[in-house]
Structure 1
């Protein structure tokens, strides 16, 4: 999925666009199975009772609320979180109802590091650490293919336009 072009400058294009790694959806999917299984079990227990219809309605209401809170909300949060590297900046956007974002011009980035443990290495994700002119380094967790993103971002940060054969600026 391409990032919206209306957020990009005239000569800016997307180098990398990622959502967080799918591992952050494992627990919500497991909770989906627990809620559906537990609700089905409780509905079966309530079936032989004379008050089974109100019990089923109550179970359905509780089940829908739990599914929306424990499964649907994390899925929507994952889908609306964007990590984007362009030719000019690093952008992070997250949130559903309240959106937040950060833009860091590549010219202001001092260093780029990554970190991933054994499980992250097996799953192919990790934490990207970006040091810029701000006081604290920014850490972006669960970035898929973090080593590739690290390399691409490093290239964008250290890309000198004078190295481009088509460069017609001053000094040549």
Structure 2
């Protein structure tokens, strides 16, 4: 879900709105596929004397296990967003309890990126926005982190159009 225009000031422009990289769900997806494969195998191998309630119980158990294994992490991923505008960097997270941070671009003194080997494979990384208070805002698992760093740098030098045009794919 994109940031509502009513939350932007009159001359503020959204440069990039994104979720964290989907790599955070990779092992969850693998585990869920293994769970589904095991449930299908168990359904086929289930004795006929257990039908139909044994089959129902098996799939209810799969559904119950799927909620913390896949649904809640997916919901957490969907509700975690980073937005870069022409005036600030906005973070929002939370399923029931929402938390957020608005960092004006004027307070940013340094933009750093950190990319592990895994991050480089997936094309993401951590962006550290340093402020004068030595309390950096960390944006973890930012997709296309190099492009986002370039956009924020352009904004810091008052080049809004350069930030908007920095990534032709967005």
Per the normalisation by structure 2, the TM-score is 0.85
Give the corresponding residue for 1:157: 156
2-side partners of 1:47 and 1:14: how far apart? 58
Deviations 1:133-162 (CA, angstroms, capped at 9, x unpaired): 44432221110110110111122123289x
CA shift for structure 1 position 44: 2.5
> Could you say what secondary structure the match of 2:52 adopts?
helix
Q: Deviations over 1:8-47 (max 9, x none)?
A: 1111110111111121121121122111111122223323
| Segments of 4+ moved more than 6 angstroms | none
* Partners of 1:81 and 1:133 in 2: CA distance: 26
Match of 1:17 in 2: 17
* Cross-structure match for 2:166: none
Q: Deviations over 1:64-83 (max 9, x none)?
A: 11222211222222122111
Q: Secondary structure at the match of 1:92?
A: strand
Residue 95 (structure 1) aligned with residue 94 (structure 2): yes
**Deviation per CA, 1:107-156, whole angstroms, max 9, x where unpaired?**
11111100112222222111101111444322211101101101111221
Q: Residues 51 and 82 from structure 1, CA distance in 2 versus in 1: closer, same or farther, beyond 3 angstroms?
A: same
What are structure 1's unaligned runs of at least 5 residues?
Answer: 162-172
Matched, 1:116 2:85: no
Q: Which has the larger radius of gyration?
A: 1
SS in 2 for 1:32: helix
Q: Distance in 2 between matches of 1:146 and 1:82?
A: 14
Judged with a 3 Å threshold, the aligned counterparts in structure 2 of structure 1 residues 160 and 42 are, in CA distance, closer, same or farther, namely: closer
CA-based RMSD of the aligned residues comes to: 1.9
Within 1, Cα distance between the matches of 2:70 and 2:25?
A: 8
Matched residue, 1:40: 40
Under a length normalisation based on structure 1, what TM-score does the superposition of the two structures give? 0.84
Structure 2 segments unaligned to the other structure (5+ residues): 161-170
